[in-house]
Amino acid sequence: MAKFYVLSGEVRWVGEADDVLDACIKATKSVGEDANFDHFFYVDEKGFREVGLFSPNDTESVPDKMITSDYVYREMKNEDENEGLSR
């Protein structure tokens, strides 16, 4: 497991996860789906980076990964359905 920093809207989460998607799901579950999320989850292994207008030459402010919140919610739903089948 690696340590991830996840930023989306008012949510800032730091924790260990198997991968980027797992980090986003854990961040969402930690605050609940009713929290104010952006359209994207910004994920980094080095720390929080300021999210805004990115310059092509400014690699210090660009997060390692960006994932849409729609994708995260869809994967959470699939994960929950699969857990229900295995019970």
Domain boundaries, the chain: 2-86
Residue 20 tokens, joined? 């980027």
Give the Cα separation of 7 and 48 in Å (integer): 7
N-terminal to C-terminal alpha carbon distance within the chain: 25
Residue 43, C-beta contacts closer than 8 angstroms, at least 6 positions apart:
4, 5, 6, 7, 20, 23, 24, 63, 64, 65, 66, 67
pTM: 0.76
Among 49, 82, 80, CA closest to 66? 49
Asked whether residue 2 carries a pLDDT value surpassing 80, the answer given is yes
pLDDT value of residue 63: 63
pLDDT digits (tens, 9 = 90+) for 8-52: 988 899 999 999 999 999 999 998 767 888 899 999 998 887 655
pLDDT value of residue 46: 86
